[in-house]
Chains A and B, each alone.
Chain A
Amino acid sequence: MSYRRITRRDFLKTAGSLTAITAMGGFPSSLFAEERRLVRFPEKTDLILLTQRPPQLETPLGYFKELVTPNDALFVRWHISHVPTSIDLNQWRLKVGGNTETELQLSMDDLKKFEKVTYTAVLQCSGNGRSLFEPRVAGGQWKNGAMGNVTFTGARLKDILNKAGLKAGSVDVSFDGLDSPPLPSVPDLVKSLPVDKAMEEDIIVAYEMNGRYMPMLNGFPVRLVVPGWYATYWVKALTEITVLPKQFEGFWVKTAYRIPDTPCGCVDPGSSPKKTIPIHRMTTRSLIVNPEDKARLKVNRSFEIMGIAFSGGYSIKQVIVSLDEGRTWKEARLGQDKGRYSWIQWFYPWKPVKSGNYTLMAKATNSIGESQPSEGLWNPAGYLWNKVEKVEVLVS
C-alpha cells in the first residue's frame, strides 16, 4: 500500500503547515511555484492543493487502488468563487421550467419519489492531466487525480423533464447551480445539453454518492450526472433546469470548454484550431496505479502491477502491459465489471529476475476499438489527455 507511505511522507513534509492551518483557520503562505502539498477541507480527507478560492483539490494517486473512490477523497473543482456553504433542505428546491407545459419546484422529498437509479461512473475533469501537456498550457495544473469512480443514486433527468412536459421546438436544456460569480461581469456557471442528449436514459440528478449525501464541495444537495461525458456537464449544487426553444448561448458552452473540431480533438502543438466544438465524451484511458513512478522493487520477488482503465461509456475490452518501454506487450487480467461507465481494475503479475531500470506502460482499448495514443495529443486548453503513460521502476 504505497499510497499510505507517500501520504505519510507528504504529511511529514508539511506537518508544520497543517498544524498552522488548524491553529489559524487559514492557509500558510507558499512561495514555490508548482508546489504540491496536502490540505484538508471540510468533509474531505487530505487532498493535493491546487487553489484555495474557489477550491480545487486533487486526489492522491494511491486512492485509485480502490474500485470505488471514497466521498472524502474525491477531487474538488469549482469555477467561480461564491461557492455554496450552507443549504437548508426545507427551503431548497430544484426549479424546472422554460419551454415546458408546467413549472416544477421539486423538494428533496419530491425528487426521491421518482424511480431511483443507481450506477457507478467515472467522474473526470476535462483538464485532468493538463500539467502533462508539452508545450505546457495555462489552466488548472492537474496531474491524474482530477477523477474518481463513484456510485451515484438519483432520479432520471428524463423522468423529471417528462413530468414538466417538453413543449414542441425544444432545442437545449440548461443547468444552473448555486455557485455565483464574484463580479457581475463574470459569467455564471451554466451548462447545457442538446435536448436529445438530456432525454437519454442514463443521465440522472444524483442525491447520493456512494450511498450517502454528497459532500458540500462535491455538489450537495444534488448534482447532474452525465455518465461517459466530462465532469464540466455534471453541474454541482444543481438548482435550476431550463428547457430552451433555441441554442444555449452561455459563456461556459459557447466560449469555454471547447475542443478542436478535428477527429483527434487535437491540433499541432502551439497552434490554434480553425473551428471548435463543445467538449463531450471522454477519451479512453488507462493508468498504472501500483507501482508508482520511481518505485523500487525487489529482484526475484513476485509483484502484481495494478491499474485502472475506462472510456466514455463503452466497456474496456482489453488492457495490455509492457515491461520494456513498449517493445513487447502482454494482456492484463481485468477485474470486476461494474458496468460501462465505471472504471475497471486490471492486474498483471510480474517477477523481475534481473535487476535494473524498467519502464512500464499500459494501454486500454474499449469495445468500439478506441484506444490511447503513444504520443500526447495537444490542444490549447489542455483537454482530453489520454497518452499511454510510462512508469519507471528500479529493480534491485
Chain B
Amino acid sequence: MKFISVIAILLSLATGIVYSWAQGTTHSINLPEARVELKPGEGLQKVETFCNICHSLDYIIMQPKLTKPQWTGTVNKMIKVFGAPITEEDAGLIVNYLVAQYGAGN
C-alpha cells in the first residue's frame, strides 16, 4: 500500500509538471481578452478606435478626474511621444470626450 501511494504521489507530481509545462520545455499562459465598456458620449468611437491600439480602455477608467490641461497633456503625450496616429481634429474630439466623461469638468 505504501508503495502504491508513493507511486500515486509521484504520478500526481509528474502530471502537475506536465500540466504547467504542456510542451516539454515550453512554458505558456493564455491572457484573457481585454473587454472594457466606457461611458457613452460624443467622441466615444474615436476613443475606442485609437486608444485601444496600444492599451485597454481601463487605462482611462483608472485615472482620477483629470483637468482639461491634464487630459490634453496625456493625449498629446500619446501622439508626440508614443506616435499614436491621431489627427488634430480627432485629438480634440478625444480630449473633449475624456474631459466630459472622465474629467474634473474644467
Which of B4-12, B57-65, B88-96 is the contact stretch?
B57-65
How far, in Å, is A154 (CB) from chain B's closest CB?
17
Residue of B whose beta carbon sits closest to that of A215: B29
Q: Which residues of A contact B25 (CB under 8 A)?
A: 88-90
How many residue pairs link A and B with beta carbons under 8 A? The number is 121
The dominant DSSP class at the B interface is loop
How far, in Å, is A254 (CB) from chain B's closest CB?
12
Contact between B59 and A51, CB atoms less than 8 A apart: yes
User: B-facing mask of A149-185, CB < 8 A → 1, else 0?
Assistant: 0000000000000000000000000000000011111
Q: Which residues of A contact B31 (CB under 8 A)?
A: 41-42, 53, 55, 83, 85
**Complex Cα gap A255–B82 (Å):** 12
How far, in Å, is A290 (CB) from chain B's closest CB?
27
Contact between A50 and B58, CB atoms less than 8 A apart: yes
Residue of B whose beta carbon sits closest to that of A28: B35
User: B-facing mask of A32-44, CB < 8 A → 1, else 0?
Assistant: 1111000001110
Asked whether any CB of chain A lies closer than 8 Å to the CB of B56, the reply is yes
How far, in Å, is B69 (CB) from chain A's closest CB?
11
**Complex Cα gap A213–B17 (Å):** 12
Contact between A85 and B29, CB atoms less than 8 A apart: yes
Query: Which chain B residues (42-63) contact chain A, with CB distance < 8 Å?
Result: 53-56, 58-59, 61-63
Contact of B32 among A27, A30, A182, A187 (CB under 8 A): A27
Contact between B26 and A51, CB atoms less than 8 A apart: no
Contact between A216 and B29, CB atoms less than 8 A apart: yes
Asked whether any CB of chain B lies closer than 8 Å to the CB of A211, the reply is no
- Give the residue among A51, A87, A182, A220 with the most B Cβ atoms within 10 A: A51
Asked whether any CB of chain A lies closer than 8 Å to the CB of B27, the reply is yes
How far, in Å, is B20 (CB) from chain A's closest CB?
8
User: A-facing mask of B15-48, CB < 8 A → 1, else 0?
Assistant: 0000000011111111111111111000000000
Q: Which residues of B contact A336 (CB under 8 A)?
A: none
Query: Which chain A residues (217-236) contact chain B, with CB distance < 8 Å?
Result: 217, 220-221
**Complex Cα gap A53–B30 (Å):** 13
How far, in Å, is B95 (CB) from chain A's closest CB?
13
Contact between B54 and A51, CB atoms less than 8 A apart: no
User: B-facing mask of A63-102, CB < 8 A → 1, else 0?
Assistant: 0000000000000000011010111111000000000000
- Give the residue among A25, A185, A221 with the most B Cβ atoms within 10 A: A185
Residue of A whose beta carbon sits closest to that of B30: A42
Asked whether any CB of chain A lies closer than 8 Å to the CB of B102, the reply is yes
Given A52-B58, A186-B82: A141 and B26 interface contact (C-beta under 8 Å): no
- Give the residue among B29, B59, B70, B83 with the most A Cβ atoms within 10 A: B29
Contact between B83 and A54, CB atoms less than 8 A apart: no
Residue of B whose beta carbon sits closest to that of A35: B61
Residue of B whose beta carbon sits closest to that of A141: B62
Given A85-B29, A183-B83, A216-B29: A29 and B61 interface contact (C-beta under 8 Å): no
Contact between B26 and A86, CB atoms less than 8 A apart: yes
Contact between B62 and A140, CB atoms less than 8 A apart: yes
Q: Which residues of A contact B32 (CB under 8 A)?
A: 21, 25-27, 41, 52
Contact between A29 and B37, CB atoms less than 8 A apart: yes
How far, in Å, is A110 (CB) from chain B's closest CB?
15
Q: Which residues of B contact A186 (CB under 8 A)?
A: 54, 82-83
Q: List 19 A-B contacts (CB under 8 A).
A: A26-B32, A27-B34, A27-B35, A31-B38, A32-B61, A34-B63, A42-B29, A43-B29, A52-B32, A52-B36, A52-B56, A54-B55, A87-B26, A89-B26, A90-B24, A138-B63, A138-B74, A141-B64, A186-B82
For the complex of A and B, list the 8 residue pairs with the smallest distance between their C-beta atoms, beginning with the closest.
A185-B83, A29-B37, A52-B34, A42-B29, A136-B64, A53-B56, A86-B28, A53-B34
**B residues adjacent to A (C-beta < 8 A):** 23-39, 53-56, 58-59, 61-66, 70, 73-74, 81-84, 102
**A residues adjacent to B (C-beta < 8 A):** 21, 25-35, 41-43, 49-55, 80-81, 83, 85-90, 131, 136, 138, 140-141, 181-187, 213, 216-217, 220-221, 251, 255
